[in-house]
Copies of this chain bind each other. A is one copy, B any other.
Amino acid sequence: MFFSKMLIPTLKKAPSNADMVSVKLMVRSGMVRKLAAGLYELLPLGLKVLRKVENIIRQEMNGAGGQEVIFPLIFPKALWLETDRWNVYGKELFRLKDRKDAEFCLAPTAEEVVTDLIRKNIKSYKQLPVMLYQFGTKFRDEMRPRFGVLRSREFLMKDAYSFHIDEADLEKYYKTMFDAYTNICIKCGFQFRAVEAASGAIGGSFSHEFVVLTNTGEEEITWCNCGYGANSEKVECLKIEQSKEEVLPAEEILTPDTGAVEDVAKLLNLSHKKFIKTMIYIANKKPVAVLVRGDHEINEIKLQALLGADETALADEQTVISVTNAPIGFAGPAGLKNIKIIADLSVVELSNALTGANKKDYHLKNVNYKRDYNADIVADIRKVIRGDICPKCKKEELKFSRGIEIGHIFKLGAKYSKSMNASYLDATGKEKFIIMGCYGIGVTRILAAIVEQSHDDDGIIWPDNIAPFEVAIVPLNYVDEKTKETTEKIYEELSSKGLDILIDDRDERAGIKFKDADLIGIPYRITISEKNLANGNVELKARRDAKDAVRILKPEKVVSELLKIFKK
């Protein structure tokens, strides 16, 4: 392919609102263009990369026994009412009406649709297991679309759904898919971790995220050398044990003009670790009091899971006053009535803690569990912090990394089959719910994740197997007869063996051609200059090597080396 014939609109500068390296480089290299907030066009170079990633994924899905399908992108409301996701999903769901005012949503994932297909067409245990997958556009009306294709409103996703006779079969297949996802990450050249994760809007009992490690990623994961790994939202926090002190009498103290833990800690010259923060939440439409240590934060995802609530929110001031008889900032568990109290594991370990006194301008000192307050539930409800110990080996401190979530696999169990009544007859003729798993991977996301992980100051560095072209030939003066001849000869020899080559035939200065080649990030560059040709040589340079790691070689040698590298 000739550069001059291809739409590769490279840019010297990234758009000023590009907020991540990957979007800067993808725009600058002419792979993508932004149509509107969260809506991206994939240009020819971007599409070539996308197809390669798609094929890596397809190969793994077929290897796992998957069958490819295509579902519509417009889903009727009726199906989404069956699972109640029409109401639960919130503003991220794009909704629309047709000319007859019937309501629809645009696909964010396809659990309802695939479950509907299966319940209508699978009747017997003999037809199970089945795994269906598709490469389909997905839509999410993000509150704040950003980071290019990483958090866009429309993106390409491979979503897969598996159907089983029981949990044991799902468990087995979940491992197969875990391995397939691991292979995809390896084939994309990722530094990554598979970690336990919260299941969010998809639901189900258990899930793993595949996170590509980058300093700039939105996700935070925790992990341990023992092999444990989890999304920070999900990681189990062990209770922090404390050496017990002699129990002192409770004492009300005046703390005017305070409210935040910081203020009180300063006033009393006391460590945050001695505090019990008491927050009034609304869950399932009722107030609950939630206690964590002063230096901890409440993890609402854990709280929701614990309470079986679709959402939780801090109560408004009026509710706080009516529950605690005091303005916000003075709540404490001692003396609270008619409200469920939920304490974090580490809270009940505290001796002589400080809490609000449920009285304006007063705190209570030397508060002790069981003597001064009780909790209805004691559980892990806090966010992980630096210094927490691994919940698996219980020895080492957890490590923290940032990254980009590219895949997420879920054990759904009977969540969807129950609400949609998807059942089968087992060998004894008994009707049972079908057990499900689902498996998503962001295809456009993978492109951005590769760029985040594999670039330098000059541009992208594509892995050999994913690059839009395998080799770039850069003739410095394509009008020169000998240059043209050599270019064509090398091109013929490489492309006849199946290598995909870009020839920069443009009438541009060498500097511009080199800059564009580096920016686009094709793994190997052959430079053909009249100077080297005079000695019968050309230059070969790998994109990932240092700028001066150029080798002057005979064209035949360049061809044979490249064929060897690409195993052709």
Chain A positions near chain B (C-beta within 8 angstroms): 4-7, 9, 33, 35-36, 39-44, 47, 50, 65, 67-76, 91, 94-96, 98-99, 106, 113, 116-117, 120-121, 126, 130, 132, 137, 139, 141, 143, 153-154, 156
The answer to whether A35 and B120 touch (CB under 8 A), given A41-B113, A99-B141, is no
Q: Which 9 A-B pairs have the closest CB atoms?
A: A96-B96, A9-B121, A42-B70, A44-B67, A39-B72, A36-B76, A91-B99, A99-B141, A72-B154
Q: How far is the CA of A71 from the CA of B43 in the complex (A)?
A: 8
Nearest B residue to A444, CB-CB: B70
Q: How far is the CA of A336 from the CA of B347 in the complex (A)?
A: 94
Q: How far is the CA of A379 from the CA of B4 in the complex (A)?
A: 48
Contacts of A44 in B (CB 8 A): 67-69, 132
Contacts of A5 in B (CB 8 A): 65
Contacts of A67 in B (CB 8 A): 6-7, 44
CB distance from A63 to the nearest CB of B (A): 13
Indicate how many identical chains form the complex. Answer: 2
CB distance from A66 to the nearest CB of B (A): 9
Q: How far is the CA of A98 from the CA of B5 in the complex (A)?
A: 37
CB distance from A428 to the nearest CB of B (A): 18
Q: List, sorted by A's number, 6 A–B pairs whose CB atoms are closer than 8 Å.
A: A7-B67, A35-B72, A36-B76, A39-B74, A91-B99, A137-B137
The answer to whether A76 and B7 touch (CB under 8 A), given A50-B70, A99-B91, is no
Contacts of A68 in B (CB 8 A): 44, 47
Contacts of A73 in B (CB 8 A): 73, 137, 139, 154
Partner of A69, one of B36, B43, B116, B121: B43
Q: How far is the CA of A121 from the CA of B71 in the complex (A)?
A: 34
Contacts of A42 in B (CB 8 A): 69-71
Q: How far is the CA of A41 from the CA of B136 in the complex (A)?
A: 12
Q: How far is the CA of A384 from the CA of B243 in the complex (A)?
A: 98
Q: How far is the CA of A42 from the CA of B68 in the complex (A)?
A: 9
Contacts of A7 in B (CB 8 A): 67, 69, 121, 130, 132
Contacts of A113 in B (CB 8 A): 35, 41
Nearest B residue to A5, CB-CB: B65
CB distance from A118 to the nearest CB of B (A): 9
Contacts of A94 in B (CB 8 A): 74, 96, 98
CB distance from A17 to the nearest CB of B (A): 15
Contacts of A99 in B (CB 8 A): 91, 141, 143
Q: Evaluate contact between B70 and A117: CB separation under 8 angstroms.
A: no
| Given contact pairs A47-B68, A73-B137, a sample of 15 additional A-B residue pairs in the complex whose CB atoms are under 8 Å apart | A7-B121, A33-B121, A35-B116, A39-B72, A40-B72, A41-B70, A41-B71, A41-B113, A44-B132, A73-B139, A74-B94, A74-B153, A95-B96, A99-B141, A137-B137
Contacts of A130 in B (CB 8 A): 7
